[in-house]
Amino acid sequence: MTKNNGGFLFTAQWETPGSLSLEPLLQGLEALKKGGEVVHILEGEGGLSPLVAAAKARKMGLKPVVHVQCRDRNRRALFSDLATLAALGVKEVVISTGGHSPQLAPAKPVYDLDVIQILQMMQDMGRGRDLAGRPLAGSFSVSPGVVVNLRGEPELEKLSLRKKMDMGAAFALLTPSTRLEEIEAVASWVSLPTIASVKLEEANSQEIVAMARPLMNGGVRGLNLIVGSGQEGRGAEVLAQMRRSLS
């Protein structure tokens, strides 16, 4: 992962573009590559498959972290996606519920499995078993991260995280915030490597860069920059500035 000498992680988060051509996807990944090698990839609303994006990112020398959401797929499709990501060499995913957007009103949410059940399925895959418990060829070594809601009820979030850790959660990704005190308060009780998040559109470059050192000193493992469509170039510049600020 992209890090400075102190081990702090810098990542970008990006949704796949809505397009019938691969060109916007490739252009976005190329721009983000200038900011670092780790890119969190989500399926955009009407966007191209994150599996395609992950494959292209790997060919570019990037390390994709693909977000897998309960909202969009049943268990067979989730199994297929995770098996495909493992076959592509993707090493990390983030498992989340995925909120139902009003913009997707014609699409019915699925929620066949919840986050805990997907983590359990991943454990079974790691033991070489498919959905029916039959032997599964090959090896599965994909590490799952989970989302912690900064504004959720603390005791419920703690209980949820403990259950997810019991099912193999390896790292935590915090929901976005520009408030250091809010991030540090939650990170203080998360007993997993923790990545904070901030939206590029919610702060100027100087404010985002200034967040990196206090977060590192506060025990947060890294900062994930959420980049919107058309912001890839600026996002890469901010990531580069953060790395320089801690070098």
Question: The domain that contains 42 carries what CATH number?
Answer: 3.20.20.220
Residue 1 covered by a domain = no
CA angle, residues 29, 30, 31, in degrees to nearest 5: 90
Residue 2 covered by a domain = no
Taking 70 as the pLDDT cut, the residues of the chain under it are: 1-6, 100-105
Q: pLDDT tens, 203-212?
A: 998 999 999 8
Q: pLDDT tens, 217-242?
A: 889 999 999 999 999 999 999 999 99
Residue 86 covered by a domain = yes
pLDDT of residue 5: 41
Cβ atoms of 209 and 217 within 8 Å: the answer is no
pLDDT of residue 6: 58
Residue 19 covered by a domain = yes
Q: How many domains does the chain have?
A: 1
CA 70 from chain center: how many Å? 14
Q: Which of 80, 79, 74, 142 is nearest to 113 (CA)?
A: 74
pLDDT of residue 1: 41
pLDDT of residue 185: 95
Residue 4 covered by a domain = no
What mean pLDDT, rounded, does the chain reach? 93
Residue 225 covered by a domain = yes
pLDDT of residue 19: 93
Residues 200 and 226: their CA atoms lie apart, in Å, by: 6
Residue 69 covered by a domain = yes
Residue 16 covered by a domain = yes
What is the pTM assigned to this prediction?
0.95
Residues 67 and 15: their CA atoms lie apart, in Å, by: 10
Q: Domain limits at 87?
A: 9-245
